Amino acid sequence: MERTISDLWLKRRDIVSDGFDDALTYISKIIPLSIVEIPTGTECWTWIIPPKWSLSEGLISSGSEVVLDVSDHPLHVMSYSQPIRKRIKKEELMDHIYTYPERPNAIPFGFSYYENNWKFCMQHNKLAEFREDNYDICIDAEFTEGTLKVGELVIPGKNKQEIVLVAHLCHPSMANDNLSGVAVLIGTALELLKQPQNRFTYRFLFLPETIGSIAYLSQREHLIPNMKYSIIVDCVGHNDVLSLQHSRQANTELDICASYVLKEETLMYREGAIGEICGSDERVFNGPGVGIPSICISRSKFWGRGEWPYPEYHSSDDIPNIIVIDNLVKTKNIIIKILDTLNKNYLPKRNYKGPICLSRYGLWVDWKKDRKLNMSLNDIMCSLEGGKSVLEIAKETGISFSDLFAWLDKLHKEDLLKMQSGVSD
């Protein structure tokens, strides 16, 4: 995962661009991606696919010396800037300079995909160097017909119902946002490809944020009814705890499952309602007229409550160095565990009447060995009516999913239980 990040990091992965295409090609050498292409100008619901943007030069010069050059850092020119070449008054130039005063040594990430504009982005501290009255500026950018591309990998399950896993691959020269998510999903896919067939079909998507989801779903509306859940993975490498943003529906099996796994597997984590932590592709997947329950896994702070996601967010400081490799591994494991729990979860339905004669079937649990399970047996025996999943019963009784799953498995072997699937079927 480390390698993917360092290899792709400095690529100009603008939303329709050669850099983005290169990154997809790179990934398809690791996992078997197919590429979906949607041409410039295509109407996608209320959106239109923008043209491909290619930047060959970006300069500010005082005449005597070059003050700023995009070849020094890809962020120096705002993504999708209009081409321009002229001598300009300092005053006018300043209207087209974008800085982060709060982080004066970092270059901010600027973009303007849908409004015609041009901008140079630079360190706030660099402003002091602009002492001349006039500057020569040049942005040599080309807008051409292209295709927005989405990398897609489907791992078929027993069931046509899908869990969609999404990471956005755009955002030039940033590492944590979101090559961290991309790397984690590549790792997740590699692991799932090795597993025997699962209950659900998994669909991995690598795409440009927002417009990529809109393009993909609007052109493939027939897929939506089979999309049971989606998981958006976003900014998961930096040094912070995991954050779970719930779906708009808030209390689906996936929500319960993810919340449960995070509680069991991590010491600390954030949990928030939709809009409180992220504002990414769940806005499309869980959005109007689509409505697929979508959780986000990230390490971002509460953006919806006014917090900054992480200090280096959307700036030239978002470099591979801020990523803790172990955080990527842990995130991947959490996602695998969530999928695994979803996979195993079922609706147990009793085959008995009255409390079971536990000793007769070797089902007795000594309270000296497991007081909690012992004290919960009666509640568990009363919960197996087919309406609650193993996960819900685990949550209600406070017994771990795996302990409960194991105890119920004994009942199943004694024919005291029917395993109804159907929670998500």
Which residues contact a second copy by CB under 8 A? 44-48, 114-115, 210, 213-214, 217-218, 248, 275, 279, 283-284, 287-290, 304, 350, 352-357, 359-361, 375, 378-379, 381-382, 384-385, 416
Among residues 56 and 378, whose Cβ is nearest to a second copy? 378
- CB atoms closer than 10 angstroms to residue 160: 12
Q: Which uninterrupted H or E stretch holds 163?
A: strand 162-168
Shortest distance (Å) from residue 279 CB to a second copy: 7
Which residue shows structure tokens 């809009």?
275
Shortest distance (Å) from residue 249 CB to a second copy: 11
Shortest distance (Å) from residue 214 CB to a second copy: 5
Among residues 293 and 320, whose Cβ is nearest to a second copy? 293
How many whole angstroms separate alpha carbon 31 and alpha carbon 33? 6
Shortest distance (Å) from residue 86 CB to a second copy: 26
Shortest distance (Å) from residue 44 CB to a second copy: 8
Which three-class secondary structure state does DSSP give residue 242?
A: strand
Shortest distance (Å) from residue 9 CB to a second copy: 29
Tokens for 241, please give them. 């705890």
Among residues 28 and 112, whose Cβ is nearest to a second copy? 112
How many whole angstroms separate alpha carbon 102 and alpha carbon 177? 19
Among residues 156 and 386, whose Cβ is nearest to a second copy? 386
What backbone torsions phi and psi does residue 303 show, to the nearest 5 degrees?
-55, -40
Shortest distance (Å) from residue 240 CB to a second copy: 22
Shortest distance (Å) from residue 304 CB to a second copy: 7
CA dihedral angle for residue 94, residue 100, residue 104, residue 109, rounded to 10 degrees:
-100
Shortest distance (Å) from residue 289 CB to a second copy: 3
- Residue of 377, 399, 386 whose CA lies nearest to 350: 386
CB 328 within 8 A of CB 187: yes
Shortest distance (Å) from residue 399 CB to a second copy: 14
Residues 6+ apart with CB under 8 A from 59: 66, 68, 69, 70, 136, 137, 138
Among residues 5 and 404, whose Cβ is nearest to a second copy? 404
CB 60 within 8 A of CB 107: no
Residues 6+ apart with CB under 8 A from 102: none
Shortest distance (Å) from residue 349 CB to a second copy: 11
- Residue of 159, 165, 160 whose CA lies nearest to 31: 165
Among residues 224 and 319, whose Cβ is nearest to a second copy? 224
- Residue of 39, 31, 32, 83 whose CA lies nearest to 57: 83
Among residues 89 and 367, whose Cβ is nearest to a second copy? 367
- Residue of 336, 319, 324, 309 whose CA lies nearest to 185: 336
CB 230 within 8 A of CB 300: no
Among residues 178 and 210, whose Cβ is nearest to a second copy? 210
What backbone torsions phi and psi does residue 256 show, to the nearest 5 degrees?
-60, -45
Among residues 179 and 214, whose Cβ is nearest to a second copy? 214
Among residues 97 and 290, whose Cβ is nearest to a second copy? 290
Give, as one character, the DSSP assignment of residue 117: -
The residue type of 158 is K
Q: Which uninterrupted H or E stretch holds 136?
A: strand 134-144
The residue type of 334 is I
Among residues 64 and 116, whose Cβ is nearest to a second copy? 116
How many whole angstroms separate alpha carbon 348 and alpha carbon 416? 10
